[in-house]
Amino acid sequence: MESSALAWSLDRVEALILSLYESKAPDKIATDQTLLANFQCSPQAWILARELLQRPDEKVRFFGALTIIIKLNRESTSLSEENAKELLMNLTEWYLYSFGTSNSSLVPRKLASALATYFVYFHHLWPNFVRHLVVCLLSNQYYDPSRLNIPDETFTRLENVQTNSLRAVLWVITSVLEDVTKIDLNAVDNFGLYDTVVSQAPDVANIVAECLTHRRLSAIGDNALKCLQAWLIFAQKIASHDSQVVALFRELLPTVIALLPVDSQFESSAELLTEVLCGYPSLLTSQHLNLLADVFVSPWSDQWYTRLVQGDGSFDTAQFGHLILSFGEERLQWLMKSEDPRCQIILSKLCGLLTAKGLPAVEDKIFVPAIEFWSTFTETISDNFSPNDIAAAPWAEQAVRLVLEAISNAWQKIAYPSTEEISGWDQSDRANFSDARKDVIDLLQSTYSVIAMLMDVESHFSENAEVAELSCTILRCGFAESEAGPFVLDMDTVTGYLTRHSGQVPRPGLFVATACSFVSSIHARGSAPEGVFAALFRWVIELLQALPEPEHDPELSQNCIEFASRLLIKSPKTLLAIQPPATAELFFLFSLQVLDGNEPLPKGASAEFWSNFIALKHGEQDIQDAAKQAMETLGPLVALSIARNVGGHASRSELERLSEPIKKLVHRYPMARQWLEAGLSHHSFPSDKITPEQKSLFVKKLVSLRGSRATNQVVRDFWLSARGSSFAYAS
């Protein structure tokens, strides 16, 4: 090692280390950390690290081990072979000593990491590190690894090795594998590392097998499973090269599966098996998969499943859910098509995961992974048969029934809770719940890509507004697309689907809102025949006719009027020339009734419609003439409704939108003055606080402004006066 004069003293370094754990100002702590980092870069760090590892305070010893790791990573090439061998001896002796004297795992684990780092850089000096460690731990002394020769048959007999010694070996093996997995084994600097690691596989397999025996299980079972998991992750990198190595660890999997019902080992074994199912399924043989299937239909599995669906939010319960879902993903085809009775039991549990108590993604953490499983399940169904060929596949009918059950379970979970409960959520809860609802939509999208299946869903849940909303959402997915795809349906199909829904369905306004989106999307899907627009408009009118009064269903009223506004933009000819003529007349009168009403959203939609209708300009003269002719009849009625609203009937918040049709009216139609004067003079005018002179002056101001922005303020002032506020006109 370095033998130059020390610029750092042991006492000074120890004092700096301990100062980090004292209550000090952040600036002082940062300064001390910088000084210690400088120390670790100094030549003296090699020598002082050894001294630090012999101090009584474990925090100081931990820092000493950390310093060794840092020096190895930075300066391993500067060590001579003699110094490297000396370092291995010291590290091993420190490791042996720490296991006998440490009250916690802090220092031993850090020394295990230091030994692993040493192995990465000096594996040629420590090729049989597993056997060497076992022998050193058995005798509690260091041996020169180059002079150690242990026969294979001797090493397979590990019964006499103390459990604590096996733990020490497992920690180093696990650290080695974790480090090696992060390294590019093909790099020149790492030449020989791969072969050295692989050569240790038989010894590691023997140690893990011994540690998983009944007498060792409670003490070091978790350590053994963590070690095995590290090897399996490494094995994914070598599977195509060393099948014998993979086979060694494959033989241990039945033991791991058998540990699932052991309470003390469930967490580690479930984590390992989930890792294998998701990341390395080729490691599993049919025997392993059969054993797992047996586990998932056992009474033990029933107990975990019951705890999960009853709302047990513990980590272990969620882990069980992830494990059975991972098995389901890997065995999807078998579960779907096999006649094995275990398949239906497992699928029933997977479906039942969607019924777990608790709000999705807020309290129920397994809901979203379960939805993702059923999305994959339904996509697999669609890959295997068409909607019309269910009878051709004996398994398909049952599979579809399961999907419908999954949907039924899911939509019951995504209804919004009470306002009081939502108010207690933080931003993360709100976002997670919203995302869970979107995942249910994705499930429906993957399940029903054709309109016939949408109808099938509704036939099962015809009275549920949530299903209606989800169905409409699926349908709208195709509106934004111009290329062919599973959700891009032809116009006649969409029209036929929408117009099948009468006013008796839950929330018919949802379907009219979907029709609005459909009409607006026409430009991206090509030109639409007039018959499509006409059929939709007649359907909208039929829905309005079924209403006992305009304000009976505000959502429907608003969306029907908004549909007419979209139609006016896309095809004014349909609106003005619809047959029979009474169809359009009914809509116009309905819209005027809404404009006279009290519901703010439909009223706002009506004001916008009349603003657009009054301002309509079209290149075809016959359409322009038809609009003007309609306004000769409708203009006085619109002015009458507006007069009542600005005369005090409207609320303050509605004045802005009501000002728009006024501005368009006085700008476009010379008769607007007479129409407004007549409306203000009508006996239905709601205020008795406005004199005839004020009404006349109000109209003069509106006409003189010719639709400018200042009209809004004039309307607001008139409304205030009508409501009884102090006001006086000035000419």
Q: Is the pLDDT of residue 522 over 90?
A: no
pLDDT of residue 313: 87
Tokens of 262: 């052991």
Per-residue pLDDT band at 727 (split at 50, 70, 90): very low
Percent of the residues in the chain that have a pLDDT greater than 70, as a whole number? 90
> Can you tell me the distance from the alpha carbon of 689 to that of 699, in angstroms, rounded to the nearest whole number?
16
Instruction: Convert the pLDDT of each residue in 663-702 to its tens digit.
Output: 999 999 999 999 999 999 999 999 888 899 999 999 999 9
Taking the chain, what is the end-to-end CA distance rounded to the nearest angstrom?
102
So what's the pLDDT on residue 580?
84
Instruction: Dump pLDDT digits (tens) for 389-413.
Output: 555 567 777 887 888 788 888 888 8
CA dist 226 and 171 (Å) reads 9
Query: Which long-range CB contacts under 8 A does 379-382 form with residues at least 24 apart?
Result: 379/446, 380/332, 380/333, 380/336, 381/336, 382/446, 382/449
Rounded Cα distance, 687 and 71, in Å: 90
* pLDDT computed for residue 208 by the predictor: 95
- Looking at per-residue confidence, does 583 or 486 come out higher? 583
pLDDT of residue 600 exceeding 50, the answer is: yes
Per the model's pLDDT, the better-predicted residue between 327 and 497 turns out to be 327
The predicted structure's pLDDT at residue 527: 58
Backbone φ and ψ for 205, nearest 5 degrees, come out as -60, -40
- pLDDT band of residue 153 (cuts 50, 70, 90) is low
**Distance, CA of 719 to CA of 209 (rounded, Å):** 88
Contact (Cβ atoms closer than 8 angstroms) between residue 221 and residue 211? yes
The confidence score (pLDDT) of residue 390 equals: 54
pLDDT score recorded for residue 591: 94
User: Is residue 371 pLDDT above 80, yes or no?
Assistant: yes
**Confidence check: pLDDT of 209 > 90:** yes
Whether pLDDT at 148 is above 60: yes
At residue 482, what is the residue type?
Answer: S
pLDDT at 286 exceeding the cut of 70: yes
Q: Which of 499-503, 656-660, 664-668 has the lowest mean pLDDT?
A: 499-503
Neighbours of 404 (CB within 10 A): 16
Number of other CB atoms surrounding residue 15 within 10 Å: 12
Mean local confidence (pLDDT), 600-626:
90
Q: What is the pLDDT of residue 246?
A: 84
pLDDT digits (tens, 9 = 90+) for 231-273: 988 888 765 557 778 888 899 999 999 999 999 999 999 999 9
Are 47 and 2 in contact by the 8 Å Cβ rule? The answer is: yes
The Cα 166–Cα 190 span in angstroms is: 28
Count of beta carbons in the 10 Å neighbourhood of residue 419: 7
Mean pLDDT estimate for the chain:
87
pTM confidence score: 0.65
pLDDT band at 481 (very low <50, low <70, confident <90, very high): low
Residue 6: the pLDDT is 47
Q: How confident is the model at residue 281 (pLDDT cuts 50, 70, 90)?
A: very high
Q: Rounded to 10 degrees, what is the CA torsion of 308, 309, 313, 314?
A: -10
Residue 472 has pLDDT above 90, yes or no: no
Express each pLDDT in 156-178 by its tens digit: 678 888 999 999 999 999 999 99
Handedness of CA 585, 586, 587, 589 (dihedral sign): positive
Report the distance separating Cα 248 and Cα 26, nearest Å.
52
- Quick check: 91 pLDDT over 90? yes
pLDDT at 464: 65
Q: 26-35, 215-224, 486-495, 571-580: which has the minimum mean pLDDT?
A: 486-495
Q: What would the mean pLDDT of 634-651 be, rounded to a whole number?
A: 93
